[in-house]
Amino acid sequence: MKIALMMENSQAAKNAVVRKELENVAQPLGHQVFNVGMSDEQDHHLTYIHLGIMASVLLNSKAVDFVIAGCGTGQGALMSLNLHPGVVCGYCIDPADAYLFAQINNGNALSLPFAKGFGWGAELNLRFIFEKAFTGEKGLGYPPERKEPQVRNAGILNQVKAAMLKENYLDTLRALDPELVRTALSGPRLQHCLFEHGQVPEIADYVRQITQ
């Protein structure tokens, strides 16, 4: 699995801590981590609005399989990511959230509140969240006897979102403010991930075009 970590300006100073815990969990499992957002407060400036664009490009191009995002409260990033087609993002405060999201909703992104409650033991909470998010089989339902309706409802929710966003994916990008998209997609680490691992050439071509 390829996992993108993306953080915005308000929490960029915590990137090293978050990245370390994510890599410590993901790499022994054979997963690859791409740190595509801000790595510190001097890095390419991003807001949670940019994170939604970034997540949608990487997921729709199949450059990555999963996104870890967030902001101070996690709510802005959650809303931003879920605006976009092909992104199913959950809100995650603790390991139980990560486990239940994987079992019930089985989406492809999580938004974490990197400021709220980020005190003593924060790195342990992150580690346990990532363990629950990336170990074991997903979509088993919880409790197990509720698996059938849960899987059905998750599928229906995805169908409803797809019906509400009928445009071609690139058309949705073209409809956005070009400067907003350009800022979101200009980061060299994001572009490396997309151009090296993306499987939809049309998306990569568009990113090259708009960021030149």
Q: Residue 207 maps to which CATH number?
A: 3.40.1400.10
Q: Which domain holds residue 142?
A: 2-211
Closest-CA residue to 109 (of 171, 149, 73, 57)? 57
Work out the pLDDT band at 210, boundaries 50, 70, 90.
very high
Residue 27 near residue 162, CB atoms below 8 Å: no
Burial class (CB in 10 A: 0-12, 13-18, 19+), 46: buried
Alpha carbons 61 and 199: distance in angstroms, whole number: 6
* Count of structural domains, the chain: 1
Residue 176 has pLDDT above 90, yes or no: yes
Q: What is the pLDDT of residues 20-69, one digit of tens each?
A: 999 999 999 999 999 999 999 999 999 999 999 999 999 999 999 999 99
Task: Report the mean per-residue pLDDT for the chain.
Answer: 95
Work out the pLDDT band at 144, boundaries 50, 70, 90.
confident
Alpha carbons 83 and 89: distance in angstroms, whole number: 10
Mean pLDDT of 197-205: 97
Alpha carbons 14 and 46: distance in angstroms, whole number: 14
- pLDDT reported for residue 163: 83
Work out the pLDDT band at 117, boundaries 50, 70, 90.
confident
Residue 166 has pLDDT above 90, yes or no: no
Tokens 């979509």, residue located: 139
- pLDDT reported for residue 82: 97
Full-model pTM? 0.95
- pLDDT reported for residue 43: 95
Mean pLDDT of 140-157: 90
- pLDDT reported for residue 13: 97
For the chain, where are the alpha helices, taking DSSP H only? 15-26, 48-60, 75-82, 95-100, 122-134, 147-164, 169-174, 178-185, 188-197, 201-211
25-39, 56-70, 151-165, 180-194: which range is least confident on average? 151-165
